[in-house]
A = this chain, B = another copy of it.
Amino acid sequence: MTAYQELRKKTEARDHSLRERVMSLEEAAGLVKEGDLIGLGGSTMSRTPLAMIWALIRAGAKGHTIARGISCQEGDLTFASGLCNHVITSWMSHGLNWGVSKIMRNYTEQKRAVFEEWSHMAMGLRFRAGAMGLPFLPMRAMMGSDLMGRLPNVKTMECPFTGEKLVAVPALNPDIAFIHVQRCDAYGNAQMDGLPFLDADLAMAANRVVMTTERIISNDQIRRAPDHTRIPFFTVDAVVEVPFGCAPHECYGVYEPFFSHHDYYADLLKKDAEKGVAEYLQRFYYEPKDWNDYLGRLGMAELQDAARRGRSINND
C-alpha cells in the first residue's frame, strides 16, 4: 500500500457524520497513541493548545515527536516532562524578552532531544501539502543554506515546465493535532479570530484532531456566519471546552500573554534551568487537581489583567 493509499484509508475509516464530539480534556488525551506524531496549532505565544499539552503531560505520555510552525515556552515543558524528544519546527525558544531557552539548549546540545529545523514557510507548506492530499509541494527558499544538508527528507527538483531548480518539501500528516480556538460547535466546526497561523492546513492534514475551545457555541451560531468557519467538523475528532485554554499564552481577543507569569517562569529557570522547570512542572502540571486549580495557581489578578488586555484589541 502506498503512503497515499494509507492516508486515504485512515481518512475513510473516520466517522464523518454530523455528530457531537464533546469530551473532557482527559478523555481527549486518551486519543493520543504511543509513538504518535503530534501537530500543534497556534504560533509562538498565541493560541498555543496548552490545556491539551497539560493533560497529556499529566497522563504521563512520553517520547513523542511534535511539529509546530514556531515553538515557544511550551517546548521547554514538552522536553522536560519527556512528552517530546524530537521537535520539527522553524524556531524554538521562549521569546525575545526572555533570552534563549536554556532547556532547549541543554536538551539539544546534550542530544537528549532532536531539533529538526525547517524554514517557517517550509513548515507551512509541509502541512499544506498534507492538507491537499499531495505527497510534496515545491518552493523557492532554503536553497544554498546549510539547513538543506541537515534535513533527512528534503530534495531539490527541476520544474517540469521551466527546468528551474526548486526545493520539494514532503507532506506532513500528523497522527494527531491539537488546536485551540475562540469558538467551536459541538460537531467541531471552528471559527477563530485574529491570525489563523497554520491551523486550517494542520487540521486538514492531520489524521485526528482535538479541538479545544474557549466556548462551545451552537451549530446555529456557526451557520449564521458560515464564511467565518475556518475548520470543518469532519476533520475533528474531539471538542473540549476549556476557558483560558492557552494560559499563560495568548488567545486573540480573549486574553493576552500573562507577561508577569512569563517573567516568573524565566526567573525560576535562571539559576538552574532543569531544576527550575522541574519545580514549575510540579507546581503547575502535576499538583493541580484540575484545570481550574491550574488557572487558580496562575492567579486571579494575572488572569483578569490578561483578559482586560485581551479584549482591548477591539477598542478604537
A→B interface (CB under 8 Å):
2-4, 133-140, 153, 155, 157, 159-162, 164, 166, 168, 170, 193-196, 224, 227-228, 314
Residue of B nearest to A194 (CB): B227
B162:A155 contact, CB within 8 angstroms: no
A2-B164 contact, Cβ under 8 Å, with A196-B227, A227-B194, A227-B196 = yes
The residues of B that contact A2 with a CB separation of less than 8 Å are: 162, 164
The residues of B that contact A224 with a CB separation of less than 8 Å are: 314
A3:B162 contact, CB within 8 angstroms: yes
Give the shortest distance, in Å, between A25 (CB) and chain B (any CB): 27
Give the shortest distance, in Å, between A194 (CB) and chain B (any CB): 6
Residue of B nearest to A156 (CB): B160
Give the shortest distance, in Å, between A8 (CB) and chain B (any CB): 10
A136:B157 contact, CB within 8 angstroms: no
A153:B162 contact, CB within 8 angstroms: no
B133:A136 contact, CB within 8 angstroms: no
Give the shortest distance, in Å, between A265 (CB) and chain B (any CB): 30
**14 further contact pairs, Cβ within 8 A, besides A133-B140, A134-B140, A153-B161:** A2-B164, A4-B162, A4-B164, A134-B138, A134-B139, A134-B166, A135-B138, A135-B161, A137-B137, A137-B138, A155-B161, A160-B168, A194-B227, A196-B227
The residues of B that contact A157 with a CB separation of less than 8 Å are: 160
Give the shortest distance, in Å, between A151 (CB) and chain B (any CB): 12
Give the residue among A2, A135, A139, A193 with the most B Cβ atoms within 10 A.
A135
Residue of B nearest to A193 (CB): B227
Give the shortest distance, in Å, between A136 (CB) and chain B (any CB): 6
A160–B168 Cα distance when bound, in Å, is 7
A227–B228 Cα distance when bound, in Å, is 9
Top 7 A-B pairs, shortest CB-CB distance: A135-B159, A155-B160, A160-B168, A157-B160, A135-B162, A161-B170, A135-B161
A314–B137 Cα distance when bound, in Å, is 39
Residue of B nearest to A224 (CB): B314
Give the shortest distance, in Å, between A299 (CB) and chain B (any CB): 30
Residue of B nearest to A134 (CB): B138
Give the residue among A3, A159, A314 with the most B Cβ atoms within 10 A.
A159
Give the shortest distance, in Å, between A33 (CB) and chain B (any CB): 24
The residues of B that contact A134 with a CB separation of less than 8 Å are: 138-140, 166
A161–B228 Cα distance when bound, in Å, is 36
Residue of B nearest to A159 (CB): B135
A196–B229 Cα distance when bound, in Å, is 13
A98–B282 Cα distance when bound, in Å, is 71
A196–B139 Cα distance when bound, in Å, is 25
Give the shortest distance, in Å, between A122 (CB) and chain B (any CB): 13
The residues of B that contact A133 with a CB separation of less than 8 Å are: 140
A-B contact list, 17 entries, CB within 8 Å? A2-B162, A2-B164, A3-B162, A4-B164, A134-B138, A134-B139, A134-B166, A135-B138, A135-B159, A135-B166, A136-B138, A136-B159, A136-B161, A137-B137, A153-B161, A155-B161, A161-B168
